[in-house]
Amino acid sequence: MSPTTFKDQYTTFLSTLNNSYDLCQIIRATRRFGSAPTPNFDAFQSYTLTSKQNLAYTFTSLRSACGSRFDLGDTIARTELDRAVRSLLAIQSKLSGIAYGHERTGGFQSLLYQLQTLEAEALSTFSGLKYRLEITQQHKEDPKPKSILKKSRTDEVVIGIAKLDAYTSHMKNSWVETEVDGEVFYVNVFDGKKKQWERPKDAFVMLLPRNEKPKAPKRTSTWEKESDYGW
Q: Which residues pair with 205 in a beta bridge?
A: 175
pLDDT score for 145: 57
Taking every pair of Cα atoms in the chain, the longest distance, rounded to a whole number of angstroms, is 90
pLDDT score for 22: 96
Report if pTM > 0.75. Answer: no
pLDDT score for 169: 75
Question: 77 exposed, middle or buried (CB, 10 Å; 0-12, 13-18, 19+)?
Answer: buried
pLDDT score for 105: 81
Long-range contacts of 14-19 (CB under 8 A, 24+ apart): 14/52, 14/55, 14/56, 16/85, 16/88, 16/89, 16/92, 17/48, 17/49, 17/51, 17/52, 17/55, 17/88, 18/48, 18/52, 19/92
Per DSSP, helices labelled H in 5-107 are 5-29, 39-66, 69-72, 75-99
pLDDT score for 141: 67
- In order along its 231 residues, the chain shows pLDDT tens digits of 444 589 999 999 999 999 999 999 999 888 766 666 689 999 999 999 999 999 999 999 999 999 999 999 999 999 999 999 999 999 999 999 999 888 888 899 999 999 999 999 999 999 999 999 999 888 776 655 555 545 545 444 444 576 666 767 777 888 788 877 677 888 888 787 788 888 888 777 777 776 655 555 555 544 444 444 444
Provide the residue ranges of all domains of the chain, joining segments of one domain with +. 5-143+157-206
Long-range contacts of 206-209 (CB under 8 A, 24+ apart): 206/58, 206/127, 206/174, 206/175, 206/176, 206/177, 207/177, 208/54, 208/177, 208/178, 208/179, 208/184, 209/57
Calculate Rg over the CA atoms of the chain: 25
pLDDT score for 1: 42
pLDDT score for 120: 96
CA separation for the pair 208, 171 (Å, rounded):
18
